[in-house]
Amino acid sequence: MNGDCLFCKISEGSIPSEKIYESETLFAINDINPQAPTHILIIPRAHHSSLLDVEETDHELMGSIITVANKLALEQGLDKSGYRLVVNCGEGAGQSVFHIHYHILGGRPLKWPPG
């Protein structure tokens, strides 16, 4: 845990949030500034500042993010229309909270390239 990190504070409960998914290693919340009709954040409880901090020992955790993304996408009805799973790595790529997190975006046609 990082005492200054927004997502660590949400994980530990010192900042209240409505979690739509929780496990021992991950949680998911709706984004407070949605960029699509469905915009969910999947956040590991362990603090990793960015993808650059992921190591071989984190492979199981990273794989579970895909499983949870699929579960949440099905629950939200995105399996028919599709969804995008995004992770930003570094400020230049759009990362604004430096605790690794994945965005599930869907519910409308998404354009390419995204940014």
* Buried b or exposed e, range 41-53, using 16+ CB within 10 angstroms: bbbbbebbebeee
Region of poorest pLDDT, from 18-27, 95-104, 105-114: 105-114
| pTM (2 d.p.) | 0.94
Cα–Cα separations (whole angstroms), residue 77 to 36, 53, 81: 14, 32, 8
> What band does 115 get if pLDDT is binned at 50, 70 and 90?
low
> What band does 113 get if pLDDT is binned at 50, 70 and 90?
confident
> What band does 3 get if pLDDT is binned at 50, 70 and 90?
confident
* Catalytic annotation present for 103: no
Q: Where are the domains of the chain?
A: 6-106
What CATH number belongs to 6-106?
Answer: 3.30.428.10
Closest CA to 101 of 17, 15, 40: 40
What is d(CA 39, CA 37) in angstroms, rounded to the nearest whole number? Answer: 6
Mean pLDDT, the chain, whole residue set: 94
User: Of residues 47, 48, 99, 101, which has the active-site annotation?
Assistant: 101
pLDDT over threshold 90, residue 1: no
